[in-house]
Each structure stands twice: as C-alpha cells, then as structure tokens.
Amino acid sequence: MIAVISQAGLGSYPVSTTKIKGENAKELSGYFYLNTSSPYGSVFLNNLELTFSIQIKDKAGHTSQTVTLSVPLLSGITPKSPPGGVFEEMELGPIMVVLRPPSPTGR
C-alpha cells in the first residue's frame, strides 16, 4: 500500500509504504491506521485536515487507481463504526508518517 498524506500549510509528507501480509494479499478487507501521537504534542491535531491518497501495488508493479480521502482530525467527536458485515475488523498495517504542527505563517 502506498500512501501520500498532504496537510494544508505544509504540503505532502514523505511517501509511506506498508507491506500487506500474504494472507491479505489476494483480497483486502480491513483497515490501515495512522498513529496520531507526535513528538510535537497533540494540541495542534484538533481541527487539522489531512488528505490521504492511497494506491495498492502488486508484486508485478501494477498499481490500482488512486483513492483520495479528506480526513478531518477533530477532538470531542465519538467515532462511528463502519457498517456491519461490510469490512473485516482486521488491521492491515500502519501509515508511517509523523504529523507536524502547521507553520505559524501558514506555509
């Protein structure tokens, strides 16, 4: 899995790749996760909006179409579970990015 995360005011983080384990390689059903703890603290994470662009690449080097998601990080919100029976509750791996606070100048 190839993930590119963009953050307003900072641009794109380095590309994150996550190897998908053999038992999940034929058919994906589960979730990738982003650890939101940061050496910069977590106060800046409230109301932060990230854009995720994700592709799957097979052993032969073929890539899927890119899926782009806009993800707001909000405090005080109770997360909703996905609809039952649609996705397996299986961890597929981490997105390896350390989030940084936005620049005070907006750049």
Render pLDDT for 1-50 as a digit per residue (tens, 0 to 9).
999 999 988 899 999 999 988 777 777 888 888 887 767 666 667 778 89
- How many CB atoms neighbour CB 54 within 10 A? 19
Does the residue 106 lie in any domain? no
What are the pLDDT digits (tens) for 56-77? 998 889 999 999 999 887 777 7
Query: Is residue 105 included in any domain, yes or no?
Result: no
* Domain limits for position 9: 2-95
Say if 47 falls within a structural domain: yes
- Whether 49 contacts 71, CB under 8 Å: yes
Task: Give residue 84's pLDDT.
Answer: 76
Q: Per the domain annotation, does 103 fall within a domain?
A: no
At residue 94, the 3 state secondary structure works out as strand
Classified as helix, coil or strand, 23 is: helix
Domain count, the chain: 1
